[in-house]
A and B are shown apart, each in its own frame.
Chain A
Amino acid sequence: MLGIECTAHTFGCGVVSSEGTVLSNTKAEYVPKTGGIHPREASQHHAAKASSTIRDALKEADLRLSDIGAVAFSAGPGLGPSLRTGATVARMLSLLSGRPLVPVNHCIAHIEVGRMVTKEEDPLVVYVSGGNTIVSAFSDGRYRIFGETLDIALGNCLDSFARSLGLSHPGVPKLESLANEGRSFIPLPYVVKGQDVSYSGLLTMAVRKIKDSDPRDLSLSLLEVAYGMLAEVTERALAHTEKPSLLLTGGVARSPRLQRILESVCREHSSRFYVVPPDLAGDNGAMIAWAGYLAIKEGLTAPIESSYIRPKWRLDEVEVPWRG
């Protein structure tokens, strides 16, 4: 199974076997010169890097295109221009190889790759990245959303703040090492609404305080508040759903501080804590390939002419028949 990931700043290609072994997982990342992702520039980057990334993936897996059983691609959610580029590449691969095309929901892929590597049957999932902040659990045929951000994503908030401090990409690790030197806590807006969080006010206030605060203290405070909010809604969801374990996935899953915090939440609720390994945490093609494999076993393929992208495809709209 081959998977093409192309929702935001990463073009990724992964090859996964039907036993869930990652044979290769190559990627090319678009890094803007200034500011955040420029959607058109990102898609141009992806178009330019697609063929070499795919070639490398096949070479590393020691396979030819004709050896592939099917082609999966991330159909959404994500940035339109990136999604269209990825979908075009995937359709071409499908036509070239004569293999079926499988559209995959990007969020589902983050969750399923986590279940694949941890072998955990039914965890509560915390999915945090630059574009998503979702607390979800499987119930009656779908991944239901128990908590999410009401505005910007956690990764978005931290990245934007890191850029405002003048830190280069990737910002979160640098923010965390700055925070390790922080001494005093600066009050910032802590916004939890029921099971949901809101990060936009926190970001605005943190940026406003840059000019008259110690950046180390401010980084510490921002991270403590941002992660604290997530930990609180996670804990509520854990108490509410009574799931036996927690799975942390998505790009921000790489944060050691966040891992420690959620691990401590789990300890208090006697739940097992799992985190997706770093190479599968951020956007990647292997996760798309694996989710595509689960889908094709259920016959979920799409004819080329109706393989539309869905930029606003919500996680809880997707039927998940492979989990009975």
Chain B
Amino acid sequence: MTLIKKGAEAELYRGKWQGFDVVFKRRIRKHYRNPDLDSYIRTSRTSLEAKLLSESKRLRVPTPIVYFVNLQNTEIVMSYIPGTPLKKMIPDMDVASIKQYFSTIGDRVGRLHKGGIVHGDLTTSNMIVKDGNVFFIDFGLGEYTLDLEARGVDIHLMRRTLESSHHEVSKIAYNSFISGYSGVMGGETEEVLRRVSEIRRRGRYVEGER
């Protein structure tokens, strides 16, 4: 097993499991956190994430296959996606592919929302591109909900990620994202977008509507 990523809350190891090429996602103990709080957060997120990964597939949103969940070790064993994080690809992309990718991403987020799931951490590091297909990973902050607020926060975070990490293309990417999203969400889109701008204004010190 080799460590492939040390994330904020989990360590990802690549290895073999029952002959499959897999990733072990292990939520590690945080020594700075109160032990009771720590074990509660790790166990509940591991179990929820495993469910969300599988459920998303049913909504035709590409995610890794979950092979095994070990709650004692707060560990998920899932298929390895041999691709590249979208974050790393954006700087070399032309406008046409940015439009195409983000319209697809919008479509998939729309399918999740319509199906009662919010991802909770829509950053470009959490999208893996393999053969032109976008896989969503890390549902650690996701939840089952049809709540307008949760959907709004999801979109708000996507927009914020674009502005902070990819500001030179953020407008094009965001507009394409919304067009893909509205293709699935239809009439509900407007309500979600209204909430997104409300969330944005709720944040401290936003001057007027932007």
> Chain A interface (Cβ within 8 Å of chain B)?
76-77, 131-132, 139-140, 144-146, 148-151, 153, 185, 187, 190, 192-196, 220-221, 224-225, 228, 231-232, 235-236, 238-240, 260-261, 264-265, 268-269, 310-315, 317
Give the nearest-CB partner of A151 in chain B: B202
Given A140-B167, A145-B164, A193-B157, are A314 and B206 also a contact pair (CB < 8 Å)? yes
Q: How far is the CA of A228 from the CA of B30 in the complex (A)?
A: 10
CB distance from B87 to the nearest CB of A (A): 9
Given A139-B164, A236-B8, A312-B205, are A194 and B33 also a contact pair (CB < 8 Å)? no
Give the nearest-CB partner of A237 in chain B: B8
CB distance from A220 to the nearest CB of B (A): 8
Q: Are B32 and A132 in contact (CB under 8 A)?
A: no
Give the nearest-CB partner of B208 in chain A: A312
Shortest 6 CB-CB contacts between residues of A and residues of B: A194-B157, A236-B8, A235-B8, A224-B34, A264-B32, A185-B36
Given A145-B164, A228-B33, are A150 and B202 also a contact pair (CB < 8 Å)? yes
Give the nearest-CB partner of B38 in chain A: A228
List 11 A–B pairs whose Cβ atoms lie within 8 Å, in order of A's numbering: A76-B205, A150-B153, A150-B199, A194-B123, A195-B121, A195-B157, A196-B153, A225-B37, A240-B165, A312-B204, A312-B207
Further 13 A-B residue pairs, CB within 8 A, beyond A314-B205, A317-B207: A131-B204, A139-B165, A190-B41, A192-B141, A194-B121, A194-B157, A220-B34, A228-B30, A231-B30, A236-B9, A264-B31, A312-B204, A312-B206
Among B45-86, those with CB < 8 Å from A are: none
Given A195-B157, A195-B160, A228-B37, are A239 and B6 also a contact pair (CB < 8 Å)? yes
B116 contacts the other chain (Cβ, under 8 Å)?
A: no
The interface residues of chain A lying within 8 Å CB-to-CB of B31 are 264
Q: Are A77 and B204 in contact (CB under 8 A)?
A: yes
The interface residues of chain B lying within 8 Å CB-to-CB of A317 are 207
CB distance from B169 to the nearest CB of A (A): 12
Of the candidates A146, A193, A196, A313, the one having the most CB atoms from chain B within 10 angstroms of its own CB is A193
Q: Are A148 and B206 in contact (CB under 8 A)?
A: no
Partner of A231, one of B32, B125, B160, B204: B32
